[in-house]
């Protein structure tokens, strides 16, 4: 069983078609295993929130279906498996964090004792004790995000669906969310979160999916995505005469000289291997052979550009 399983999900907002707009979500098929931390990447308007709202049953898909923990998201009971953090969490401004969690606990059908236990657990986890009795009204973005996260964790759901959990936070706030996600992972939870904050995604996700204008253009394990696309290799050689270097230079995409020796660049792994062989055959010595891997950021940007 998958923790999250979507099949050909498509969303066309009513009124959107008339204005000539395309599908907001187009044929999204995605499977996420239990205990995965999955990063759902895309620019503003890519369709991330639309997807998340369908998973949380706040929105109906135009076509396709979605399952969480093996259950259709359109069934009421499915929601009990999901902890949801909205992009802009909404609170009753006159309640304090303790009352807020109690309220959501009650909505989730928890007993008083369970709600008490949840408060104890979540107050520590999200550092809410010092603001336990303060009304939400005066809360900063960071405090609201902590409280929103606590609300998502009420009832201890197995699957966390977080919409841009790090956006709008300062570096400390982002780090706290990152650490929280890693902690949830270590507790066996499944975490699905959307972001355009690549650095954060790169650090904590086992897999990512990239959404471009409603379509999933790429998905996979981060390490595989990044190694599959070795886009540049740098070879450093020494002991080559100018005459021996000339043909190698001619087949490179760039050259440079340093104290280490001659640097040859190429954009292709096969060429890099054959250049290395030529260097050795011409009496040179390899000092370095370095595939220059793209950061996720470069990769992500290219995926986006390909479509625009």
Ligand X SMILES: Nc1ncnc2c1ncn2[C@@H]1O[C@H](COP(=O)(O)OP(=O)(O)O)[C@@H](O)[C@H]1O
Which residues in this chain contact Mg ion in the complex, by CB under 5 A?
48-49
CB of 53 to ligand X, least distance (A): 8
- Cα gap 39→268, rounded to integer Å: 29
From Mg ion, ligand X, none, interface partner of 42 (C-beta below 5 to 8 A by class): ligand X
CB of 16 to ligand X, least distance (A): 5
From Mg ion, ligand X, none, interface partner of 24 (C-beta below 5 to 8 A by class): ligand X
From Mg ion, ligand X, none, interface partner of 50 (C-beta below 5 to 8 A by class): ligand X
From Mg ion, ligand X, none, interface partner of 209 (C-beta below 5 to 8 A by class): none
The residue (of 22 and 183) whose beta carbon lies closer to Mg ion is 22
CB of 212 to ligand X, least distance (A): 10
168 φ, ψ (degrees, to nearest 5): 80, 5
270 φ, ψ (degrees, to nearest 5): -65, -45
The residue (of 158 and 164) whose beta carbon lies closer to Mg ion is 164
Which positions touch ligand X (CB under 6 A)? 13, 16, 24, 42, 44-50
The residue (of 49 and 145) whose beta carbon lies closer to Mg ion is 49
The residue (of 47 and 155) whose beta carbon lies closer to ligand X is 47
The residue among 176, 153, 171 whose CA lies nearest residue 89 is 153
CB of 215 to Mg ion, least distance (A): 16
CB of 71 to Mg ion, least distance (A): 25
CB of 175 to ligand X, least distance (A): 23
Closest residue to Mg ion, judged by C-beta, is 49
With tokens 């802009």, the residue in question is 88
From ligand X, Mg ion, none, interface partner of 6 (C-beta below 5 to 8 A by class): none
The residue (of 176 and 211) whose beta carbon lies closer to Mg ion is 211
The residue (of 104 and 193) whose beta carbon lies closer to ligand X is 193
């Amino acid at each position: 069983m998958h923790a999250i399983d979507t099949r050909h999900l498509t969303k066309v907002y009513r009124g959107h078609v008339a204005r000539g707009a395309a599908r907001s979500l187009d044929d999204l098929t995605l499977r996420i295993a239990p205990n995965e931390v999955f990063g759902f990447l895309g620019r503003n308007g890519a369709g991330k929130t639309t997807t998340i709202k369908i998973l949380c049953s706040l929105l109906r898909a135009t076509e396709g279906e979605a399952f969480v923990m093996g259950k259709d998201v359109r069934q009421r009971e499915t929601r009990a498996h999901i902890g949801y953090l909205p992009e802009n969490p909404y609170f009753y401004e006159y309640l304090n964090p303790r009352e807020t969690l109690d309220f959501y606990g009650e909505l989730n059908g928890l007993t008083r004792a369970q709600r008490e236990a949840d408060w104890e657990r979540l107050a520590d986890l999200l550092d809410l004790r010092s603001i336990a009795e303060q009304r939400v009204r005066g809360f900063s973005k960071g405090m609201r995000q902590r409280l929103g996260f606590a609300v998502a964790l009420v009832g201890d759901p197995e699957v966390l669906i977080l919409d841009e959990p790090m956006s709008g936070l300062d570096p400390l706030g982002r780090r706290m969310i990152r650490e929280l996600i890693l902690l949830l992972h270590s507790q066996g939870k499944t975490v699905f979160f959307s972001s355009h904050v690549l650095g954060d995604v790169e650090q904590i996700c086992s897999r990512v999916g990239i959404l471009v204008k409603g379509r999933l253009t790429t998905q996979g394990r981060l390490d595989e995505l990044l190694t599959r696309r070795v886009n540049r290799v740098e070879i450093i050689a020494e002991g080559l005469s100018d005459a021996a270097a000339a043909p190698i230079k001619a087949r490179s995409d760039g050259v440079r000289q340093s104290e280490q020796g001659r640097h040859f660049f190429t954009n292709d792994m096969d060429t890099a291997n054959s250049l290395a062989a030529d260097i050795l055959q011409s009496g040179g010595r390899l000092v370095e052979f370095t595939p220059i891997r793209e950061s996720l950021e470069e990769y992500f940007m290219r995926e986006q550009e390909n479509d625009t």
